[in-house]
Structure 1
Amino acid sequence: MESHEPKTSNSTAEEDGCSNWDRAVVARRVERLFLHLNPPPEFSDGVELARCAGRAKSDVNTEQLSKYMRGKYRDVQQKVYDYFNSRPELQTPLEISKDEHRELCMRQLMGLVREAGIRPFRYVVEEPAKYFAILEAVGSVDMSLGIKMGVQYSLWGGSVLNLGTKKHRDKYFEGIDNVEYPGCFAMTELHHGSNVQGLQTVATFDPIKDEFIIDTPNDGAIKWWIGNAAVHGKFATVFAKLMLPTHDTKGVADMGVHAFIVPIRDMKTHKPLPGVEIHDCGHKVGLNGVDNGALRFRSVRIPRDDLLNRFGDVSRDGKYTSSLPSINKRFAATLGELVGGRVGLAYSSVGVLKIAVIIAVRYSLLRQQFGPPKAPEISILDYQSQQHKLMPMLASTYAFHFATLDLIDKYSEMKKTHDEQLVGDVHALSAVLKSYVTSYTAKSLSICREACGGHGYAAVNRFGSLRNDHDIFQTFEGDNTVLLQQVAGYLLKQYKEKFQGGTLTVTWNYLRESMNSYLSQPNPVTARWEGEDHLRDPKFQLDAFRYRTSRLLQSVAVRLRKHSKTLGSFGAWNRCLNHLLTLAESHIESVILAKFIDAVRSCPDPSSRAALKLLCDLYALDRIWNDIGTYRNVDYVAPNKAKAIHKLTEYLCFQVKNISRELVDAFDLPDYVTRAPIGMQAAEEAYAQYTQFAGF
């Protein structure tokens, strides 16, 4: 966005702040006087505006929109749905004990692989997008099954494929694929989760017997929350510090955290192997179909070949070799190969959000309550308060869908090319999307339950199980607060490189132009434009999102520099922590909006494109209104424009409400997948199904 004030460098602004500010105030007063005498046009020359949807209800072609949304993997997802629909004995009942749920979950996975012939492991490396599509569908059937499948194939299987070499693939691939080798991913410890470099489990090389000795040195190093460990796992990928014997006074050299394949149960008797102690982590808040356990190792010996040696190897005589020069480089490469778990969680979380939104919207259209005197009752979705709860959520669900699909495309490309820049981009993008989407979904599940009143509290209508099963998404594969801090760190690194003339990677390249815009004063003319065409222009929306991110980035960089002089780098970071978290969230909202705008433009069907444009505008303006204080504080948005944004947001909620049935139908989830009586597609059957459940 062009400013009418002269642009200054950052250093000049700091040195001459008072004089520049005075001049800016005078200039803005003159321009505002000019504005009153010469009202601006609704949009500036040279800016191409997207056409707004009309005031009448849109005619949505649900089939075309669904086809655009689900893409080329629609068939394999339908195959998953059809299989479980044909096997009622494999469907998870409403009331089931922990132990029964675990056994059912294992039978579900075996049936999917061995009966339905769906082999997800084949796609983990070769076609990741297809794997994630299967994962979303499986999670819709039972979230515990989705997580168990993820443990088997993304984590245990993925670690073998991504951290091992050909010898490991040849030995383990078939057994992992057909679930003959059920396995675990033993990274997290009782005392350490997010700080993986602080893990205490050790793997010491014994050159005499050519073996590694796996040890749990203290109770804090017990592997904890390990999925598949309590009941079904036969192998574990164990993350431990690699210790090599030396001839100096220390006796051993710590080579950093590496991954090892450790058998934990006998293949025939299924009993724990010597030195392996296994305990059950017990009943959880949710996901009780997953058998989380704790593992302690007491001098467990494994062959040297069971070191997953893609990034570091140990020879027969105990010498360490690696293509990477340092512990930190090897650690980063190891974690970088495990990013698929975060990608899957972000995508699966959107799948959970879709189910919740479908149920809440359909029920809100069905349920009638109150109305004008002597007139029929009206749908509760006709109330503005209900629209305010659910319509921005529906818009966000669509926005997240396209953003996570883009992430999967980037991840797939990264697996093919191993491009270093793309690796960093996917790592940062998966961290922030996983954090933002799972946090949003967790909050939305409670809102959906509340929006459905007392009937939302019935277990049969699923909000309770969805909320409980999904809640842990905010913690595993990286705690959300920790992940946001990582992304804030990436943003600060890009900020530094921007001023050193470095090249910005794809996700961050908007910062160069936007930061220059931030260093100038907001334009008082455009700050007052309030026409609908202007507010629904993608350029205005994206500029506003990016301006906010750039402003937050600039201000937190200044604060960190100031506090580090007295508090040191760690103390300064902690002092600015909330600011940094807000920065990361602002950044990902900008990225999500950009992907949504691209998806609208790319949609080939006119009616679907119009509906998506409506949703995209609501997503953007609702976010701007929710943070209107930030824009008002710097005069980016004048009072009259803020009022217009609020008014238009409310109207867009009304417009989306008018096509909400078609929009949720376009998610194309059959009733036997959503499995909530109040959320049935055929409204006339909803109450009949619901009362029948109670025995009427």
Structure 2
Amino acid sequence: MENPNSPRSDPTAENQQNQAITRIQRLSLHLLPSTSSSHPQLELLTCAKAKKLNVIPSQLSIYMGGNHREIQERVFDFFNSRPDLQTPVEMSKEEHRELCMRQLLALVREAGIKPLGHALEDPGKYFAIMEAAGSVDVSLGVKMGVQYSLWGGSVMNLGTKKHRDKYFDKIDNLEYPGCFAMTELHHGSNVQGLQTVATFDVATDEFVINTPNDGAIKWWIGNAAVHGKFATVFARLILPTHENKEGTDMGIHAFIVPIRDLDTHHTLPGIEIQDCGYKVGLNGVDNGALRFHSVRIPRDNLLNRFGNVSRDGKYTSSLPTINKRFAATLGELVGGRVGIAYSSGGILKVVVTIAIRYSLLRQQFGPSKQAEISILDYQSHQHKLMPMLASTYAFHFATQYLLDKYSEMKRSHDDQVVADVHALSAGLKAYVTSYTAKSISICREACGGHGYAAVNRFGSLRNDHDIFQTFEGDNTVLLQQVAADLLKQYKEKFQGGTFTVTWNYLRESMGAYLSQPNPVTTRWEGESHLRDPSFQLDAFRYRTSRLLHSVAVRLRKHANLGSFGAWNRCLNHLLTLAESHIESVILAKFIEAVQSCPDKNTRAALKLVCDLYALDRIWNDIGTYRNVDYVAPNKAKAIHKLTEYLSFQVKNVARELVDAFDLPDHVTRAPIGRQSEAYMHYTQYIGF
């Protein structure tokens, strides 16, 4: 017979015993390494045993450079051999514009680098050339983009064989410098609202281009003020009809309009060109404004891939509606966003390189009666620059993935890939350019007074890059496109639709992400768990899925305001959703790059940087994770502590990590950012 005084028969004692066992189990989870990692080969040593990694910059550079490093070195070497083509610290707008044109002409005609063919057949190589040119001078990279991505790209991608045969060679060799005349004084992002008109005249077989009011003046048109001879003009195509004397509006189409005489370079009749003047930056690019007064062009100058007009004024198209034609037209121009995202990452590499090299060189204060220490030894400086260095690597692999998807799109013309590239390019362009713009100012501040010297380039790079947040789509508008696409996929999820490749994690695990977090895993704080790619990616995706679900609920709640009113009421929520999603995509591509790296030491270095990128982002939004009980207080503290320690570890190999960007001193061009003898070159510059 069981003893009535036994603890087993006491419900209170039994409950206490069970609670003790549960506590021991939870403690063991904190003390023992996690075995949940699906990538054990990526794990590094624990903090207590960590040593400085053996990073060989040349090996890391080769892994990052891919197949296009050689063409970039050709660009760098050419400009290094031509001091007359290097951009001085100070020059007038007029001098800078002429130098920029000479740089582009020399690159094409003397160095033999012909970008247009690459833009069409090998986009990765083209964007590598543009990134290298932008590293030499951001104005040069942008002017190249105007000529080949915008003017050349619009003719080649929106035109047909007759246009390619007539224009390809002369655009490629710069005989036909041109413009991309889309933006108007009153309309930028809202392209469907453009007011310039192109009315077909059946009697003369011509289109008549008109600017109906001042709001329709084409504005900020690169190459227009000085060098352009042609423009791709986006206008409303108007066909005359008996029923409507105003004509029938067929929507936005693109037209080739000569604006200057090929021989004399004089402005052609009916065309008015004004100079937009000095800008905050990019003064090597000659932005102008165009007004058209009954300018007549041949019917063949309609870029007619998606819509054509016959001799008798009949309109035909393979696409049934104005909206579908408009979407197809803009879809062919997505390369501009791809190039900006990629180039912005290139500028970030330059500024991070300058700031980190100087921070390793500059010594200030330190322990009493001991040698001064470098400013990068200070935790506050590491906090500023090391997550930024990690982000630079993350952006490199994400934009490389975007280039690969864009190249696939150009090869396959697959509708699904087109949709993926459209959304991904919008999100990455917005996210990367916004981050880079903020980072340039942080780098300037991190270099103190010497960062303020014009010769050290932070000012010019900040000013030149600033517009990257606006052209090819305002960042706030682009993030809304990403959010709209996510909501479309969310709707399909619950209506049995299919998911695209880009957002497939929603299909795979939306249910799991929307469920309550596991009360055990919310408390795991071991380093191996926090550095597990599965945990990091789950954390990013959990946040995105929660945001997506909650904003969908809010939009339904405000449905009485109408679709526009509901959207506007939830706009900040939608922007946060889009940014969260893009961060998830960036991390996923970074993790894939780490896994794919064949060299053990290089992989370990990339893993360290990837972990810092992931945990820094989680810590920056720790309030969100705490609010939904995804992270317990003890785990939040562990994330913060590990983030600081990873910043310290990255600091120890920061020199090697920026050296792997393989940017020669004649490209960074900042005395304080030189690989050696920085102070000597700096003092020589001012005359000592």
Identify the residue that residue 24 of structure 1 maps to in structure 2. Answer: none
Identify the residue that residue 178 of structure 2 maps to in structure 1. Answer: 183
Shift of 1:513: 2.9
Identify the residue that residue 220 of structure 1 maps to in structure 2. Answer: 215
Is the CA contact (8 Å cut-off) linking 1:80 and 1:134 kept in structure 2? yes
Is the CA contact (8 Å cut-off) linking 2:150 and 2:180 kept in structure 1? yes
Q: Aligned partners of 1:318, 1:50: CA distance in 2, in Å?
A: 67
Is the CA contact (8 Å cut-off) linking 2:211 and 2:292 kept in structure 1? yes
The sequence identity of aligned pairs, in percent, is 79
Is the CA contact (8 Å cut-off) linking 1:31 and 1:524 kept in structure 2? no
The one-letter code matched in structure 1 to 2:339 is: G
Is 2:295 the counterpart of 1:304?
A: no
Shift of 1:493: 0.1
TM-score by length of 2: 0.95
Shift of the 557–179 alpha-carbon distance from structure 1 to 2, 3 Å rule, reads same
Deviations 1:587-608 (A, max 9, x none): 0000000000000011111111
Q: Secondary structure at the match of 1:209?
A: coil
Identify the residue that residue 287 of structure 2 maps to in structure 1. Answer: 292
Identify the residue that residue 148 of structure 1 maps to in structure 2. Answer: 143
The one-letter code matched in structure 2 to 1:314 is: V
Shift of 1:122: 1.2
Deviations 1:123-148 (A, max 9, x none): 11111100000000000000000000
The one-letter code matched in structure 1 to 2:80 is: N
Q: Aligned partners of 1:542, 1:99: CA distance in 2, in Å?
A: 50
Shift of the 51–68 alpha-carbon distance from structure 1 to 2, 3 Å rule, reads closer
TM-score by length of 1: 0.94
Q: Aligned partners of 2:143, 2:44: CA distance in 1, in Å?
A: 44
Q: Aligned partners of 2:625, 2:40: CA distance in 1, in Å?
A: 22
Q: Secondary structure at the match of 1:623?
A: helix
- Aligned match of 1:230 in 214, 225, 236? 225
Q: Secondary structure at the match of 2:291?
A: strand
Identify the residue that residue 506 of structure 1 maps to in structure 2. Answer: 501
Is the CA contact (8 Å cut-off) linking 1:202 and 1:241 kept in structure 2? yes
- Aligned match of 1:681 in 653, 672, 675? 675
Is the CA contact (8 Å cut-off) linking 2:514 and 2:545 kept in structure 1? no
Q: Aligned partners of 1:30, 1:591: CA distance in 2, in Å?
A: 46
Instruction: Provide structure 1 residue ranges, at least 5 long, that are not aligned to the other structure.
Output: 1-28
Q: Aligned partners of 1:297, 1:347: CA distance in 2, in Å?
A: 35
5 Å-filtered alignment, 1:402-421, equals 402-421=397-416
Count of residues in Structure 1 that have an aligned counterpart in Structure 2: 665
The one-letter code matched in structure 2 to 1:196 is: V
Is the CA contact (8 Å cut-off) linking 2:36 and 2:529 kept in structure 1? no
Identify the residue that residue 643 of structure 1 maps to in structure 2. Answer: 637
The one-letter code matched in structure 1 to 2:61 is: S
The one-letter code matched in structure 1 to 2:648 is: F
Is 2:421 the counterpart of 1:426?
A: yes
Shift of 1:246: 0.7
Q: Secondary structure at the match of 1:262?
A: strand
- Aligned match of 1:350 in 324, 334, 345? 345
Identify the residue that residue 613 of structure 2 maps to in structure 1. Answer: 619
Identify the residue that residue 588 of structure 2 maps to in structure 1. Answer: 594
Q: Secondary structure at the match of 1:371?
A: coil
Shift of the 35–147 alpha-carbon distance from structure 1 to 2, 3 Å rule, reads farther
Shift of 1:645: 0.2
Is the CA contact (8 Å cut-off) linking 2:177 and 2:223 kept in structure 1? yes
Q: Aligned partners of 1:30, 1:200: CA distance in 2, in Å?
A: 78
- Aligned match of 2:687 in 675, 678, 695? 695
Q: Aligned partners of 1:33, 1:201: CA distance in 2, in Å?
A: 77
Shift of 1:30: 13
Q: Aligned partners of 2:58, 2:22: CA distance in 1, in Å?
A: 48
Q: Aligned partners of 1:488, 1:35: CA distance in 2, in Å?
A: 42
Is the CA contact (8 Å cut-off) linking 1:60 and 1:608 kept in structure 2? yes
Identify the residue that residue 561 of structure 1 maps to in structure 2. Answer: 556
Segment drifting more, 236-245 vs 515-524: 515-524
Shift of the 32–364 alpha-carbon distance from structure 1 to 2, 3 Å rule, reads farther
Q: Secondary structure at the match of 1:260?
A: strand
Shift of 1:37: 3.8
Q: Aligned partners of 2:289, 2:258: CA distance in 1, in Å?
A: 15
Q: Secondary structure at the match of 1:72?
A: coil
Q: Aligned partners of 1:409, 1:435: CA distance in 2, in Å?
A: 19
Q: Aligned partners of 1:92, 1:33: CA distance in 2, in Å?
A: 71
Segment drifting more, 513-522 vs 608-617: 513-522
Identify the residue that residue 329 of structure 2 maps to in structure 1. Answer: 334
Shift of 1:51: 3.9
Q: Aligned partners of 2:564, 2:17: CA distance in 1, in Å?
A: 45
Is the CA contact (8 Å cut-off) linking 1:396 and 1:619 kept in structure 2? yes
Is the CA contact (8 Å cut-off) linking 1:35 and 1:525 kept in structure 2? no
Identify the residue that residue 453 of structure 1 maps to in structure 2. Answer: 448
Deviations 1:490-537 (A, max 9, x none): 000000011112111111000123321133111100000000000000
- Aligned match of 1:265 in 249, 255, 260? 260
Shift of the 45–542 alpha-carbon distance from structure 1 to 2, 3 Å rule, reads closer
Identify the residue that residue 13 of structure 1 maps to in structure 2. Answer: none
Q: Aligned partners of 1:658, 1:131: CA distance in 2, in Å?
A: 35
Shift of the 413–251 alpha-carbon distance from structure 1 to 2, 3 Å rule, reads same
Q: Secondary structure at the match of 1:176?
A: helix
Q: Aligned partners of 2:36, 2:88: CA distance in 1, in Å?
A: 61
Q: Aligned partners of 2:22, 2:374: CA distance in 1, in Å?
A: 45
Q: Secondary structure at the match of 1:302?
A: strand
Identify the residue that residue 607 of structure 1 maps to in structure 2. Answer: 601
Identify the residue that residue 3 of structure 2 maps to in structure 1. Answer: none
Shift of the 472–115 alpha-carbon distance from structure 1 to 2, 3 Å rule, reads same
5 Å-filtered alignment, 1:329-408, equals 329-408=324-403
Is the CA contact (8 Å cut-off) linking 2:39 and 2:533 kept in structure 1? no
Identify the residue that residue 657 of structure 1 maps to in structure 2. Answer: 651
Is the CA contact (8 Å cut-off) linking 2:480 and 2:575 kept in structure 1? yes
Is the CA contact (8 Å cut-off) linking 1:148 and 1:228 kept in structure 2? yes
Q: Aligned partners of 2:83, 2:514: CA distance in 1, in Å?
A: 62
Is 2:577 the counterpart of 1:583?
A: yes
Identify the residue that residue 3 of structure 1 maps to in structure 2. Answer: none
Q: Secondary structure at the match of 1:311?
A: coil
CA RMSD across the alignment? 1.3
Q: Secondary structure at the match of 1:506?
A: coil
Shift of 1:31: 11
Shift of 1:106: 0.5
The one-letter code matched in structure 1 to 2:177 is: P
Q: Secondary structure at the match of 1:553?
A: helix
Q: Aligned partners of 2:54, 2:421: CA distance in 1, in Å?
A: 37
Q: Secondary structure at the match of 2:468?
A: helix
Is the CA contact (8 Å cut-off) linking 1:514 and 1:547 kept in structure 2? no
Shift of the 56–216 alpha-carbon distance from structure 1 to 2, 3 Å rule, reads same
Is the CA contact (8 Å cut-off) linking 1:184 and 1:235 kept in structure 2? yes
- Aligned match of 2:158 in 163, 170, 194? 163
Shift of the 262–450 alpha-carbon distance from structure 1 to 2, 3 Å rule, reads same
Shift of 1:36: 1.8
Q: Secondary structure at the match of 2:499?
A: coil
Q: Secondary structure at the match of 1:103?
A: helix
Is the CA contact (8 Å cut-off) linking 1:50 and 1:538 kept in structure 2? no
5 Å-filtered alignment, 1:190-201, equals 190-201=185-196
Identify the residue that residue 43 of structure 1 maps to in structure 2. Answer: 34
Q: Secondary structure at the match of 1:507?
A: coil
Shift of 1:46: 8.0
Q: Aligned partners of 2:206, 2:654: CA distance in 1, in Å?
A: 62
Identify the residue that residue 313 of structure 1 maps to in structure 2. Answer: 308
Q: Aligned partners of 1:251, 1:30: CA distance in 2, in Å?
A: 87
Q: Aligned partners of 2:284, 2:37: CA distance in 1, in Å?
A: 58
The one-letter code matched in structure 2 to 1:97 is: S
